Amino acid sequence: DAKTTQPPSMDCAEGRAANLPCNHSTISGNEYVYWYRQIHSQGPQYIIHGLKNNETNEMASLIITEDRKSSTLILPHATLRDTAVYYCIVSQYGGSQGNLIFGKGTKLSVKP
Amino acid sequence: DTAVSQTPKYLVTQMGNDKSIKCEQNLGHDTMYWYKQDSKKFLKIMFSYNNKELIINETVPNRFSPKSPDKAHLNLHINSLELGDSAVYFCASSHGQGAAVNEKLFFGSGTQLSVL
């Protein structure tokens, strides 16, 4: 079972920041927060991951609260191509050993 | 230049048939996986495999078997197909250097299997 809770859907205007929340209140000290997304008819795509500190890469930023019980994925300037289901996953080992458990995710719809 | 490619993209077949889905990765990764995404869109691990170890999700029926001719390929064979096998099957790969937290998964685009 997924150890995260995400809203089922969100809308965002094109060009605006998309802020996707995730609750992971039972996260343990050695577990990381991972984000993947799945664009329609494609396989999931890795976005970003983090442990305690905020992280940023070319795709997104990840903000993790100090108590690590929740996090927010930020797409700074959403485009129509960012419309997808976004999965927040907590895992000790990332992709290895098949330890990623995908929940239902958040369906993000970016609108013109 | 697709990193993880799987064929066919669509597979329609009758109950009781045996079918295979092929997967190839050109990333030089050591570990490959098969995931199943059911009608409710839950994505679940079926197998992870490298040249040393096959890890099977215990809920996967033994009608499903992975075959790896070399480390760049992991094919999925399914015997005696059932209606409940209808789903989208995704192949994935990762670098596979043990339990590393930076193990990103790279997924193929999926094979939609429909059993009639």
Of A41, A85, A96, which is closest to B103 when you measure between CB atoms? A96
- CA B70 from chain centre, in angstroms, equals 15
Chain A residue whose CA is closest to B104: A95
Chain A nearest C-alpha distance from B84 (Å): 20
Q: Residue B99 — pLDDT band, cuts 50, 70, 90?
A: low
Chain A nearest C-alpha distance from B87 (Å): 12
pLDDT digits (tens, 9 = 90+) for A39-49: 998 999 999 99
On chain B, the residues whose CB falls within 8 A of the CB of A43 are 4, 90, 92, 107-110
Q: What does the pLDDT read at residue A76?
A: 96
pLDDT surpassing 60 at residue B101:
no
* B96/A93 CB distance under 8 A: no
Q: Can you give the three-state secondary structure of A11-28, one letter per residue? A: EEECCCCEEEEEECCCCC
* B44/A45 CB distance under 8 A: no
Sign (positive/negative) of CA torsion B65, B69, B74, B77?
Answer: negative
pLDDT digits (tens, 9 = 90+) for A44-86: 999 999 999 899 999 999 999 999 999 999 999 999 999 999 9
Q: Residue A97 — pLDDT band, cuts 50, 70, 90?
A: low
Cβ of A107 under 8 Å from any chain B Cβ?
Answer: no
Phi first, then psi: give them for residue A80, nearest 5 degrees: -60, -30
Beta strands in B38-86 (DSSP E): 43-49, 54-56, 64-67, 75-78
